[in-house]
Chain A
Amino acid sequence: MTKSILFAGVGGQGILLSSKLLTAALIASGYDVKMSEVHGMAQRGGSVTTQVRFGEKVHSPIIGKGDADVLVAFEPMEAARWLDHLKPGGRIILNTGKIPSSVILSGDKDYPEGIEEYLAEHTDLLSIDAQAMAVELGNAKAMNVILLGALAKSLALEDVDWTALIRSEVRPAFYELNEKAFQMGFDL
């Protein structure tokens, strides 16, 4: 069976690192993996996704509607936007920190109320204030690795040396930060 993980968020949130580390872990676990990214206009503050599919033999690199086993949403509005790609009742790992889009910043629209409550009711939701946790660790950017930790736990990838993987992707100055962040997410 092919499993699908969808990462959704906003340009600049570090989605790519999380999906890269997950992909490396899946490869280390012996799976066939495909990962698909969106480039271009999306990076200018727009909504971004990366898609990871794994299994014995993966065909399509992209995730269809109602197809994702887990949606890792880096932002609540993006969780809502990509909900149609999640299996009915599937797992969402949500960073609760809100990033208002331009029409909200300008006061033309309001940030929608009640997304988290809605998701809690209709999906298997794990809400994490990863932004605040990362700030506590000393670097707001580590949010992506906290979410990865939570995802790793959900997927029960047992025999993965996450420390080694993290070290292969980040600079030495950030080893400790990211290892702590991963553990924090994993222990939730």
Chain B
Amino acid sequence: MKYLMSGNEAVARALYEAGVTFASAYPGTPSTEILESLVPYHEDMYVEWAPNEKVALEAAVGASMAGFRAVAAMKHVGLNVAADPLMTVSYTGVNGGLVIVSADDPGMHSSQNEQDNRLYARLAKIPCVEISGAREAAAAIKEAYQISESFDTPVLFRMTTRVCHSKELVEEGERVAFDPITYEKHPTKFIAAPANARKRRPLVEERVQKLVAYSETSALNTIEDNGASVGVIASGVSVHYAKEVFDEKANYLTIGLTYPLPMEKIRSFVQSVETCYVIEELEPFIEEQIRLAGIDVIGKEKIPTMGELNVDILREALFGETPTYQQAPEEFLVARPPILCSGCPHRGFFYEAKKFRDMIVTGDIGCYTLGATPPLQVSDSVVCMGASISMAHGVYASMAKNGEKKRVMAVIGDSTFLHSGMTSLLNSVYNKTPTINVILDNRITAMTGHQENPGTGYNILGEPAAEVDFEKVVRALGIEKVLTINPLKLGSVREAIKECLAFDEGPSVIITRWPCALKRYSDQDHQEFNLRLPKSQVIEDLCRGCRNCVRTGCPSIRFNKETKKASVDEITCVGCGVCRESCPFDAIVEGELR
């Protein structure tokens, strides 16, 4: 049977069919649905969310060492977090096959950078497999495990947003169970201490040479000969863009194994045509290797190294052709930026925090990144997961050394704190900076589509799991001042910030605890929180048009410029009550229960 599947769904199915036993991941767009799509197969395989990508990869390395086929999946920046085990598992090699899925995000649809992770394959000297779409997933994943086991190497499986999230018809196959390799101690292989690592080092180089030979004949690299005088060498989704541009007027060498390259195959392909283009997104990864081998091709001197490619960009870059299209007048194109949802518990916190103007606020990654955008505009920075707390420490310590006693606050989400905020907080405790560290605990990993995490009390299968007690964790790290508050109550937000400002003997922590308005509430949520809240209503006569409620940035509030009155949309209002509290004239009151 054929089914319509996204690249992520197809990769998940392929992992199942390939007999994989162990799968671990930390969510991250565009990779998240890979693990989510493995859940239906949980009787045959072990599936988990890990607290971060390093943990996920190390766990997968363990499963491989134990003799099972394993996978760790992550978004591109996740591989930075997991780079430490990656670089050394290249030396140790594997027992059961090990595949690391990296989902890159050219164009930065939902990421803070657009690094090309194929470069990691070269850095770690491990093979890199790429697919152009869902249809190729099954064959490519199965081949990746073959490579991993035959060459004793982890394999980087690189996807991109368009491959992850584009759907096409995919043929399903059967699962072929993988016979686990009986575990035996193998110290010179798996103990990467210097003496052993030095012995493994030449094996890594030999392996690359063997992989080069394999690459020449690998079914992952395919030629489509249309008898044309133009040649196209392409990888990933660029293959499809190229085929749309050239159709049958080009011969194609599709590279599915982008590291190491089949250089002889490439050489004879290039020789067989008059003009040869290399078409790849982001870095000239394939192109540079080809040029190093002394082969002349056309590539990044024409094709952009930034952003996604598409058919229009290729046509313009290669032939100077631009499409004809119409454009609406500028005045129709009013921006529609993403905003915190109606009833988002982050809103109350940011609305109140904004009033403490003389603070530097370091932000982090999640829905609450929107606390940096209008009208809230509280956070001053976003770099990478966990950085809020460590940056706040650095800001404070350096300024203090310079004689400036500026107060600094870090804001971080629950999932992000557990991902990489804990060691940062330990640094602030250990080196004693009186930073205010706010854990915005909305009881879920919201930004990436509501995944459970170690703080929510459930695992990826929805089964009850051990639940982190944030207050206990931060106390154990050495935090003395910890306040847990309801962020919908603006007064308690204000008091908590004041209390922490008055405390300067070390870092303090505020935990705001209220579930995400879009979360599917658990029984526990219903027990802990009163979620049937009264919706808000504006009494027009009392509204003086001060716009305080508008400044909460709630999409359920509308301001009429003519009448100078605010109103609340009763359909979308969740009843969080933040607008009621923001109103100095008591013009917003409780209405019907939600």
Which residues in A have some Cβ–Cβ distance to B below 8 Å?
10-11, 23-24, 27, 32-47, 58-62, 64-67, 77-78, 80-81, 83-88, 100-107, 109-112, 114-115, 118, 122-123, 140
Contacts and interface: CB of A to CB of B under 8 A. Distances in A.
A114 B331 CA distance: 10
A66 B6 CA distance: 25
B166 A34 contact: yes
A86 B328 CA distance: 11
26 contacts: A34-B133, A35-B166, A36-B166, A36-B167, A40-B109, A40-B448, A41-B109, A42-B110, A42-B338, A43-B338, A44-B338, A45-B341, A46-B339, A59-B243, A60-B311, A62-B310, A64-B323, A66-B323, A67-B323, A77-B333, A84-B327, A100-B558, A105-B559, A106-B559, A111-B334, A114-B332
Contacts of B333: 77, 80-81
Task: Name the 4 nearest CB pairs between A and B, nearest first.
Answer: A40-B110, A66-B325, A61-B166, A80-B332
B169 A44 contact: no
Contacts of B109: 38-42
A45 B373 CA distance: 14
Given A33-B169, A36-B166, A106-B375, A44 B339 contact: yes
B560 to A, nearest CB: 7
A84 B324 CA distance: 9
A107 B559 contact: yes
Contacts of A87: 325
A86 B370 CA distance: 32
A106 B447 CA distance: 24
Given A39-B30, A60-B310, A62-B310, A77 B336 contact: yes
A33 to B, nearest CB: 7
Interface residues of B, number: 55
B323 A33 contact: no
Given A24-B4, A35-B166, A103-B334, A88 B326 contact: yes
A147 to B, nearest CB: 19
A60 B338 contact: no
Contacts of B300: none
Interface of B: 4, 6, 29-30, 109-110, 133, 162, 165-169, 237, 240-241, 243-244, 310-312, 323-329, 331-341, 367, 370, 375, 447-449, 547, 550, 553, 555, 557-561, 571
A23 B561 CA distance: 43
A61 B237 contact: yes
A106 B340 CA distance: 14
Contacts of A140: 571
Contacts of B555: 45, 102, 105
A45 B336 contact: yes
Contacts of A36: 162, 165-167
Given A65-B323, A110-B561, A118-B329, 10 more contacts: A39-B109, A40-B30, A45-B339, A45-B341, A62-B311, A83-B326, A101-B336, A102-B336, A107-B559, A123-B326
Given A34-B167, A39-B165, A105-B558, A84 B310 contact: no
Given A34-B166, A40-B110, A44-B370, A122 B240 contact: no
B4 A23 contact: yes
Nearest to B336: A101
Residue among A43, A62, A87, A118 with most chain B CB within 10 A: A62
Interface centre among A43, A78, A84 (most CB of B within 10 A): A43
Looking at A11, A33, A61, A122, the one whose CB has the most chain B CB atoms below 10 A away is A61
Contacts of B326: 66, 83-84, 86, 88, 122-123
A112 to B, nearest CB: 5
Contacts of B337: 46, 101-103
A61 B162 contact: yes
Given A40-B29, A88-B324, A122-B326, A33 B4 contact: yes
A77 B330 CA distance: 11
Contacts of B558: 100, 105
